[in-house]
Every structure is written in C-alpha cells, then in structure tokens.
Amino acid sequence: MKIGFHGGVGEVTGSRHLLEAEGLKVLLDCGLFQGHRKEALAKNRDIPFDPAGVDAVLLSHAHVDHCGNLPLLVKKGFKGLIYCTEATLEITAIMLRDSARLQESDAAFFNKIHARQGSKETIEPLYTEADVDACLALFTPRPFMTWVELSDKVRFRFHNAGHVLGSAMIEVETKTAKGLRRVFFTGDLGRRKSLLMDPPDVPKTVDYLLIESTYGDRNHDPVDRVESLIKTVVDRAVAEKGKILIPSFALERTQEIIFVLEKMIRRGQIPLIPVYVDSPMAINITEIFSRHLDGFSFSPEFKDYVAKEGDPFDFKAIRYVRTALESQALNDKKGPMIILSASGMCEGGRILHHLRNNLDKDTTTVLMVGYQAQGTLGRRLQDGAKKVKIFGLEHAVWARVETLHTFSAHADQGDLMWFMKSLDPRPRTIFLVHGDPSDRAALKELLRAEGITRVECPEYGQEFPLE
Ligand SMILES: [Zn+2]
C-alpha cells in the first residue's frame, strides 16, 4: 500500500491524494488549484498520474478546491465511478457547471483583450459544460456509514465531516497480508460546535490519518458572539434606513446567515426587515438544503428548530431574487434591508452592483462574514480603503465595513487537536494536508508537545509506503 500527495499539501487548494491498495488505485478528491491564472492553469492541467489507470474516485465534498478538476480527469481518460453522498452530488453539479461557465467566459475575455492588442497569446478553458455533463454521468451517490466494496479486499464508507451539507470523511479499509489497514481522510473537517452541522464523527480505529490543517495555528471566535454583533448592525440600519450588504459564499455561509437572521427575527431580537438573497447559485443550493432537512448531518439544535418552526429557508422575511431585473430593482428600494449576494470576496457577481450603488452612502453597512484573501476587493474594503475601483471606475467609500470573524466551516486549532487526541489507539502516521506551511508547522509542534510524534507534512508529489 502507498499514498501519493498530488495537491492540497502546503496550500489550501487543489486537494488530490492517490491511494494504492491491493492492486487498486483510488483517488481521494480531485480539486481545482486556485490562485494566479497562469500558475493555476498550468498546475490544473498537469495530472501527474494516468487518469485511465485510476479505478475509482472518492469525493469528500462539493467545494471546488476538492471536486473542481474532476471534469478534466474524465476528459483525460478516467472511466471509473465517482462516489460521494447524495447531497454532495447535487451541490457538485451546480458548482462544476458554474466553474465551467466561469472558465469559458474568462478564456473568451482574455483572448478578446489579447487579440485586440495584437497578441497571439490565447488560453483554453480547462473544461466546458459538456465535459461537466460527461463527468456527472460517472457520479454514484452512497449513504453515510454504509460499506461499499471496491474489490474483495478494499472497501470504503463515508462518515459525517460536519463541514458543509453532504460533506464526508472517507474511511478506506484494506485486507493486506499483514492484516486490516484503515486509511482515514478527513477532507475538510467541521467544527465541534456549528450553527447548522453536526460535529464530525470520531472513527474507532485509524492506522493512517490524512487530516486537513487550514486553521492549524488559529482559533475562531465562539459561535455565540454572532447574534450580538448582528443585532448592533441591524439596529443601526433600521434607525438610519440603511442597507446591509453581506458578500457571502453560496454554499453553507448563505444558509447559516439566513438561519441566524430568521431565528433572531422570530424571537424578536431584531425587527422584521426584508432579507434579499440575490444570487441564483446560492438560491439553487438553498433549495438543496430544504430538500435534505432530514439529513443526519444537521445538528440536533437545527433539527429541533426545523421540527418546531418548519423550513427555515422558507420564511416570510426571506426573498429570493432570481432575475437580473429584480436585482437591479433593489437599487430603487429604500432601506432598511439586508442583501446577501455573491461572491464572498467581492470578486464578481451581483454584490459588485450593490457595492457600486451603495458604498458612497454613510447609511450602508458592508458586513463581511467570510475570509477575505489578499488582493481581493473584499480585503481592500475590510482594510479600510476610502476609494475602490469597481468595473474600472473609482468609488468613494462612506459605508461602514464590519467583520464577523465567527463564521467558518473549518475546524480551528482546538477542534483539530480534539479530533486527533480522540483517536485511540493513535494512528501509525498522521499526514497533515490542506494547510499553509505555517499552519502545518504549528500543528505538528502542538502534537509533539502532546507526545504525538509520527506526523508528516508531505510535499507536492511525495509518496509514502503504508506498512
Ligand atoms: Zn471545503
């Protein structure tokens, strides 16, 4: 048996690990590298093993840094099945189609600009919507906690990861000449306490653990702080008849915010004001949440709430804005109101129009609820820029910009340590993946202090034999 790390090591995108066990090649995730265009395209195009030689893909969840390169894998010859949970399949279909459309329009735009300047440089999208259809045809949903036989010696099952709807950790069990060996991949790990999700399962026996380490050197603010901060922002918007703009990721974050706002309105903690969800992708994903309300990966609190109050995503304050015309009409409406719109880092999507029209008003609040990467418009606003460029035009910023640091679908350092310390007996080796070098180093050091020393931080392309 051996494991090869072909992405998502020493960085947080492009998750891709190849497990070879008893004659089978099993790929754990096949994510998209994100970052600077040229570098990302080159990394995404380079598949360092033969896709036709892979027997099966086990997919942890629907974020594109875990599933976004699957269409290229299929285009380059993979013919096996892609296993995931039912909810992951439904959300992945939306994510991959969106990814293909973005790549096609990005390439068309790039090529047009270059041709206009007399340059012959062109780029091709990694894959198109037609490639996505071919890829989705191989998807095979399986329930949580049910063994699936890949051969008479290798089987796997999905455990709840508690990260986003449908997210799974993957346990692969192999009968080797030396006995049973269990490889456990966390994918992205959720938190012990989250607004919507059940905490991650703790598996019984793990020989080799592949665990993410995104927040290996940090802890998040406690979840309970969300409500007091939202109340302050909403009360001010009501008093000033202002608009609250929330740039939000379409998966999980949007649904978390809807749930919190609904709960607070229902309990009278904040007044009933309209909450517009202005993102077709977020709306489509929210519908998947509504269809899976009885899914067992939701937290008991959330399920209790649903049992008492019904579908939280179908509440009178929540208005779903599908068409561009309806979205534009929000400009002429007076506040108070809340507008949730993508993208989460203000790099595209309808949020740009709302920012363009409202940043110059001191009654506007921009509420950041997610990580804002360096170089994004979201980060510039968060850092207090007084002027920003949107669609090439300069806009003065009079709006207040607030940040809620509480929301994260990822385990923090405390959660990661809790998970690893709960494993008894200790794994033979722990591989730290999906984290920047400083996060992995911090976690490794902390584990060493606990006496857990068989810890590896694999590099890109590195392989390890599994005894
Ligand atoms: Zn994720």
pLDDT of residue 222: 77
Give me ligand 1 centre to Cα 27, in Å: 17
Number of C-beta neighbours around residue 183 at 10 A = 25
What span, in angstroms and rounded, lies between the C-alpha atoms of 205 and 426? 8
**How is residue 110 written in tokens?**
């790039």
Give me ligand 1 centre to Cα 252, in Å: 10
- Per-residue pLDDT for 463 more than 80? yes
Instruction: Work out the percent of the chain whose per-residue pLDDT is above 90.
Output: 84
262 neighbors 234 (Cβ within 8 angstroms): no
What would the pLDDT profile of 406-416 be if each residue is shown by its tens digit? 888 999 999 99
Which residue type, as a one-letter code, is found at position 382?
A: Q
**How is residue 51 written in tokens?**
């896709």
Residue with tokens 């949107």: 390
Give me ligand 1 centre to Cα 159, in Å: 15
263 neighbors 305 (Cβ within 8 angstroms): yes
> Whole-prediction pTM value?
0.93
Q: Which domains does the chain have, with CATH numbers?
A: 2-218+409-465 (3.60.15.10), 225-403 (3.40.50.10890)
375: phi then psi, degrees, rounded to nearest 5: 85, -5
What is the average pLDDT across 131-139? 98
Residue with tokens 């490794």: 444
- Per-residue pLDDT for 110 more than 90? no
Give me ligand 1 centre to Cα 334, in Å: 36
What would the pLDDT profile of 248-270 be if each residue is shown by its tens digit? 999 999 999 999 999 999 999 99
pLDDT of residue 8: 86
Give me ligand 1 centre to Cα 188, in Å: 5
Give me ligand 1 centre to Cα 185, in Å: 13
Question: Interior CA angle at 191 toward 341 and 193, to 5°?
Answer: 95
What would the pLDDT profile of 209-260 be if each residue is shown by its tens digit? 999 999 999 998 877 778 998 999 999 999 999 999 999 999 999 999 999 9
Give me ligand 1 centre to Cα 63, in Å: 5
